[in-house]
């Protein structure tokens, strides 16, 4: 009897608070989700002391399916609705909707969020400036540490990707630091708030109004992630970017300086 009591006492002393869940992909408790996405981007171009602006406004709804994958999680992202407008100084506004996208985006994420693109949708040329399967696969979901993280802890993600993008091509390199702030509650849902900041460099070759356009930019990035630890999925991803660069167009003998500002928000719908 004494032995039994000692065993119970020792077990009780050894037991502590449960370990916090890991911040990692592949541990989601759901197989489907829907996200709403919004993007407002402006590019101010300086031409002989005057400013011209190219602006983009868009909203989309994505249906997302999660599946088992040896690396972490397999993701299929389908465009349910899309409404976007590109206002350009050298042509009429360009408007696109979900009919401009055929097929789904399929990719795999390892536990920290590094993406491997498996299949991209077919995007109409006129929509390629606003819809990029390559960019979505690498930036839709945030980087995670692949382990539990307490308030005050941080991790750094270095991201590099490039490839063909519609009739053009793109490349992006970014260094982002994520820092756990703590718990918060939104709509009765307990979430983990994670701050994000860093820099990103990008280069794009595209076609606008029948002209070949090349754009380079270096931006400061800030934002946050809200992560649902219970469901094991992203609840919200907010990102604001601002900085400068240059654009090359056939009608200008030298590259033109630009200022870029972008606000993007992705939020779980259900």
- Answer whether 155's CB lies under 8 Å from 143's CB: yes
- Answer whether 169's CB lies under 8 Å from 135's CB: no
Summarize the confidence of residues 113-131 as an average pLDDT. 89
3 state SS of 253: coil
- Look up the pTM and report it: 0.88
- Whether the pLDDT of residue 2 is over 50: the answer is no
134: part of which helix (H) or strand (E)? helix 133-139
Dihedral sign from CA coordinates of 205, 211, 215, 221? negative
∠ at Cα 31 (182, 124), nearest 5°?
100
Q: How far apart are CA 235 and CA 4, in angstroms?
A: 47
3 state SS of 9: helix
- Whether the pLDDT of residue 102 is over 80: the answer is yes
Q: Which two tokens stand for residue 58?
A: 């868009």
Summarize the confidence of residues 195-204 as an average pLDDT. 97
Q: How far apart are CA 266 and CA 205, in angstroms?
A: 26
Proportion of the chain above pLDDT 70, given as a percent: 91
- Whether the pLDDT of residue 211 is over 50: the answer is yes
- Whether the pLDDT of residue 4 is over 70: the answer is no
CATH number, domain 22-268, options 2.60.40, 3.40.720, 2.30.230, 1.10.150: 2.30.230
Lowest mean pLDDT among 54-68, 112-126, 244-258: 244-258
Q: How far apart are CA 138 and CA 152, in angstroms?
A: 26
Mean pLDDT of the chain: 89
- Whether the pLDDT of residue 11 is over 60: the answer is no
74: part of which helix (H) or strand (E)? strand 72-87
Q: Which range, 44-58, 148-162, 237-251, is most confident? A: 148-162
Residue 206: the pLDDT is: 79
Three-state SS sequence of 83-124: EEEEECCCCCCEEEEHHHEECCEEEEEECCCCEEEEECCEEC
- Answer whether 228's CB lies under 8 Å from 191's CB: yes
∠ at Cα 38 (65, 118), nearest 5°?
35
- Whether the pLDDT of residue 179 is over 70: the answer is yes
Nearest CA among 43, 67, 217 for reference residue 130: 43
> Tokens 């939104």 correspond to what residue?
186
Summarize the confidence of residues 114-123 as an average pLDDT. 96
């Amino acid at each position: 009897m004494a032995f039994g009591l000692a065993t119970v006492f020792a077990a009780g002393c050894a037991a502590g608070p449960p370990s916090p869940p890991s911040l990692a992909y592949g541990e989601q408790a759901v197989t489907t989700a829907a996200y709403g996405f919004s993007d407002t981007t402006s590019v101010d171009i300086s031409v002989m002391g005057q400013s011209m602006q190219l602006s983009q406004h868009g909203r989309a709804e994505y249906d997302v399916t999660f599946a088992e994958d040896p690396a972490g999680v397999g993701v299929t992202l389908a465009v349910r609705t899309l409404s976007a407008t590109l206002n350009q100084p050298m042509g009429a506004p360009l408007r696109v909707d979900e009919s401009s996208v055929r097929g789904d985006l399929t990719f795999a994420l390892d536990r920290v969020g590094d993406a491997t693109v498996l299949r991209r949708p077919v995007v109409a040329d006129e929509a390629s400036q606003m819809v990029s399967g390559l960019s979505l696969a690498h930036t839709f979901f945030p980087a995670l540490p692949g382990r539990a993280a307490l308030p005050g802890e941080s991790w750094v993600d270095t991201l590099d990707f490039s490839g063909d993008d519609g009739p053009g091509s793109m490349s992006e390199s970014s260094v982002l630091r994520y820092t756990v702030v703590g718990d918060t509650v939104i709509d009765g849902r307990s979430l983990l708030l994670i701050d994000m900041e860093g820099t990103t460099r990008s280069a794009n070759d595209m076609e606008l109004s029948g002209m070949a356009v090349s754009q380079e930019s270096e931006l400061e990035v800030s934002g946050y992630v809200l992560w649902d630890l219970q469901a094991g999925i992203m609840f919200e991803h907010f990102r604001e970017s601002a900085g400068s660069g240059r654009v090359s167009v056939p009608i200008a003998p030298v590259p033109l300086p630009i200022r870029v500002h972008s606000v993007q928000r992705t939020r779980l719908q259900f």
